[in-house]
Structure 1
Amino acid sequence: MAIDADSRGVFAIAPTPFHPDGAVDSASLRRLIDFYASAGVTGLTVLGQMGEAPKLAAEESLAIVRTVLERTALPVVVGVTAPGFGTMRTLAHEVMTMGAAGVMVAPPNTLRTDDQIIAYYTQAAEALGPDVPICLQDYPLSFSVQISPRVISQIVETVPSIVMLKHEDWPGLEKITAIREREAAGQRRLSILCGNGGLFLDFELERGADGAMTGYCFPELLVDMVRLTSSGRRDEAHDLFDAHLPLIRYEQQPGTGLAVRKYVMQRRGILDSAAQRRPGRELSKWERDEVDFLLGRLARRDTRARVPNP
C-alpha cells in the first residue's frame, strides 16, 4: 500500500497523545486510530510537526509507529525529517520494514538557494534508497524555505522516488495551478495533498489538489470536502466548509493550534488528555470557553460537533 503519484483522499495527521506527566498515552493512541478509520480517512501521517516528533526519543517514535501499523490497515506515512541523513535513513528503513506506506521529509531551514534545495532532496533520496516513496513537505511558513513550482518540477524530474507533495504554502493556490499546468505540458505527475489545517481546502481542491494531509480536529469535514468536490457539489461543499471555518481559523493560530486540536479531541472523547509534552502549553480558561462557544455554534450546522459538556 505504498503511496504513489496517484494517491488521493485524506491522510489525517495524528497528534501524539500524552498523559499529563508527559508519558505517551498508548490507549488514547489506539482509540485515535480507530476514530480516524471510522471517519473515513484514506490514510494516516504520524511523527509530523503536530505529532510533536522532535520531543520523542527514538525508541518512542518506533513504538508509536508500531502501534499505529498494528492497529490499522490504512496506509501510513511517517515523518522522518532529521538533521543528518544517517538518522533519517535508519528511521525510514525501520518504519518501511514495519509496513509504512512512505516517509515525509521536510527541508532544513539552512537551505537558501534553489540549487541547495534540489541537491538536498536528491541526496536525501539517495540516502533512503529508490524503494522508499517520499512525500516532500513544502511548508515555508514553518521552515523558512521557499520552493517554487519550477524547483518542484526539477526535483520531480530528478528524483523519481518523490511521489507526493504536502502543500502548505500560504498563499499557495497559484502554486497548485502552476504545478498542474506543468504536468499538462509533460511533467511527471505528483500527488498533491494540502495542509494548513484545511484552511484553504475548499479552493485547493478546485485548483487540482488530490486531497488533504492535515490534522483538523474534525477529519470528517476533510473527507466530506473531498467527496463533495469530486462529485461536483460545489455549493454544498462550500456551505459545509463555511460552517467549520471559524473553528478551523481558531485552530490555525501559531503556537496555539495543537492545544486547540487536542482539547477538541478530548472533548470528543477521543483523547484522555489534551496534554502536550514539554515544552508545550495548555489553553487558558478564556480560550477553552471560546472553543466551546465555537463548537456550540458549529453543532447547529453539523451534529458531529455536539459534544458532552466539559
Structure 2
Amino acid sequence: MLDETAAGVFTIAVTPFLPDGAVDWDSIDRMVDFYIAQGATGLTILGMMGEAGKLTAQESVDVVKRVVARSSVPIVVGVSAPGFAAMKTLSDAAMDIGAAGVMVAPPGSLKTDTQILGYYHNTAEVLGNAPFVLQDFPLVTNVVVPTSVILQVVADCPTCVMLKHEDWPGLDKISALRAASDAGARRISILCGNGGLFLLEEMLRGADGAMTGFAYPEMMAQVVAAQQAGDLAHARDIFDAYMPMVRYEAQPGLGLAIRKYTLAQRGVIAHDTVRKPGGALSAATREEVDAIAQRQAAKLKVLDL
C-alpha cells in the first residue's frame, strides 16, 4: 500500500492507442516494462496524461488490470471524477485489483479554502481505507490550494499520504511544507510534476522525487539518485543535458502528443495516437523533436551518461 515514505520516480504513464483509437494492449505491456527498466519506483496511470477522461468506465478498469498484472512496482490510479459515485467505483475496483493507492485532483468548481478542505474531507470518507494522493495542479484545475489547506487536509485525513506537487511557481510551497513537518506536522511524501521542469530545485527543497511523464524517465531516475547520493554536480550535468527536451515538451496543448511521438520513436509504444479530441503533431514539430533528440544523444555521449 502507498504510504508517506514513497520516494523516487512514479512515472506518469500514457495510454497507448492504435491508429483507430482502440486501446493498444500490447504496447501497454511493453511500456510498463520500459518504465521499470528505466528506473521507475512506481507508476501512475489514468491521470491527465493518460487521457483518462477519454476512456470508458470499463476501459479504465481493464487498463488497471493490465498494468497491475504486468508491473513489479506500486501502481497509483487517477480516480478524479465530477462526482463521488464514479470516483468511489473506480477507486474500489482499482484497489481490489491490486493498486497501491489512488490520486484525486480538485474539481474546478471549488473557489474557497473552505470548499477545498470540505471536498477532501468528503474524498477521504468516500475512498475509505484507500491511500490517496492530493494532486495540486492549479495551471490545469484552476484551483489554488494554499499550503495551509494542504497541511489541514494532511492533519485531518490520515489516508492522504502524498502530494503531487505541480504548482507553478511552487518551490516555496515545498519549503513551507517541509518546514511545517520539521516543526511537528505529519510528514507526507511529495512527488513533483510539471514534466520535470524544476525537478532538481524541487529535490533540493525537500521533495522525495518525481511523478511526471517526461518521455525520458531515465533522466528523472538518474537525477533523483545523484541528488540523494550527494553528487549535486552530476545531478546538474544530467538535468542540463535533457533540459532542451523538457522545455520543448512543456508546450501547453502539445506536451502529450510530443511525449507519445517520442515514446513511439523509442520503440516503447507502437503508435503516437492521441485519442480524439486531440490532434497529431505537424511535420515541422516532429522535425524539431527529432533534432532535439539527436543533440541530446550527442551531449549524453560526451558526458558518458
Instruction: Compute the TM-score of the two structures, normalised by the length of structure 1.
Output: 0.96
- Please give the alpha-carbon distance, in whole angstroms, between the structure 2 residues aligned to 1:241 and 1:101: 29
Report the CA distance between 1:73 and its aligned residue: 1.9
Q: After superposition, what is the alpha-carbon deviation per residue over 1:154-200, rounded to whole angstroms, capped at 9, x for unaligned?
A: 11111111000000000010000000000011100110000000000
User: Partner amino acid for 1:40?
Assistant: G
> 5 Å matches for 1:17-56?
17-56=16-55
Is residue 147 of structure 2 the alignment partner of residue 152 of structure 1? no
User: Partner amino acid for 1:206?
Assistant: L
- Please give the alpha-carbon distance, in whole angstroms, between the structure 2 residues aligned to 1:5 and 1:217: 26
Aligned match of 2:203? 205
Paired residues, what number?
A: 301
Aligned match of 1:123? 122
Report the CA distance between 1:37 and its aligned residue: 1.3
Report the CA distance between 1:235 and its aligned residue: 1.1
Aligned match of 1:63? 62
- Please give the alpha-carbon distance, in whole angstroms, between the structure 1 residues aligned to 2:254 and 2:19: 18
- Please give the alpha-carbon distance, in whole angstroms, between the structure 2 residues aligned to 1:145 and 1:81: 14
- Please give the alpha-carbon distance, in whole angstroms, between the structure 2 residues aligned to 1:71 and 1:240: 29
- Please give the alpha-carbon distance, in whole angstroms, between the structure 1 residues aligned to 2:117 and 2:81: 17
Of the three residues 166, 169, 180, the one matched with 2:167 is: 169
Report the CA distance between 1:38 and its aligned residue: 0.8
- Identity between Structure 1 and Structure 2 (%): 53
> 5 Å matches for 1:1-310?
2-129=1-128, 131-303=129-301
- Please give the alpha-carbon distance, in whole angstroms, between the structure 2 residues aligned to 1:63 and 1:301: 40
- Please give the alpha-carbon distance, in whole angstroms, between the structure 2 residues aligned to 1:271 and 1:237: 28
User: Partner amino acid for 2:32?
Assistant: I
- Please give the alpha-carbon distance, in whole angstroms, between the structure 1 residues aligned to 2:152 and 2:68: 33
User: Partner amino acid for 1:45?
Assistant: T
Q: Secondary structure at the match of 1:217?
A: coil
Report the CA distance between 1:302 and its aligned residue: 2.2
Q: Secondary structure at the match of 1:164?
A: strand
User: Partner amino acid for 2:111?
Assistant: R
- Please give the alpha-carbon distance, in whole angstroms, between the structure 2 residues aligned to 1:160 and 1:302: 43
Report the CA distance between 1:86 and its aligned residue: 0.9
- Give the root-mean-square deviation of aligned CA atoms: 0.6
- Please give the alpha-carbon distance, in whole angstroms, between the structure 2 residues aligned to 1:66 and 1:249: 33
User: Partner amino acid for 1:72?
Assistant: S
- Please give the alpha-carbon distance, in whole angstroms, between the structure 2 residues aligned to 1:302 and 1:107: 39
Q: Secondary structure at the match of 2:212?
A: coil
Report the CA distance between 1:240 and its aligned residue: 1.1
Q: After superposition, what is the alpha-carbon deviation per residue over 1:240-285, rounded to whole angstroms, capped at 9, x for unaligned?
A: 1011001001001110000100000011011110001000111101
- Please give the alpha-carbon distance, in whole angstroms, between the structure 2 residues aligned to 1:211 and 1:233: 16
Q: Secondary structure at the match of 2:276?
A: coil
Q: Secondary structure at the match of 1:301?
A: helix
- Please give the alpha-carbon distance, in whole angstroms, between the structure 2 residues aligned to 1:161 and 1:37: 26
Q: Secondary structure at the match of 1:202?
A: helix
- Please give the alpha-carbon distance, in whole angstroms, between the structure 1 residues aligned to 2:2 and 2:300: 32
- Please give the alpha-carbon distance, in whole angstroms, between the structure 2 residues aligned to 1:157 and 1:257: 35
User: Partner amino acid for 1:107?
Assistant: P
Q: After superposition, what is the alpha-carbon deviation per residue over 1:15-51, rounded to whole angstroms, capped at 9, x for unaligned?
A: 0000111000001111000101111210000000000
- Please give the alpha-carbon distance, in whole angstroms, between the structure 1 residues aligned to 2:273 and 2:54: 13
- Please give the alpha-carbon distance, in whole angstroms, between the structure 1 residues aligned to 2:259 and 2:265: 10
User: Partner amino acid for 2:2?
Assistant: I
Instruction: Compute the TM-score of the two structures, normalised by the length of structure 2.
Output: 0.98
User: Partner amino acid for 1:111?
Assistant: L
Q: After superposition, what is the alpha-carbon deviation per residue over 1:74-116, rounded to whole angstroms, capped at 9, x for unaligned?
A: 1000000011111111110001000000000000000000000
- Please give the alpha-carbon distance, in whole angstroms, between the structure 1 residues aligned to 2:154 and 2:39: 30
- Please give the alpha-carbon distance, in whole angstroms, between the structure 2 residues aligned to 1:240 and 1:45: 24
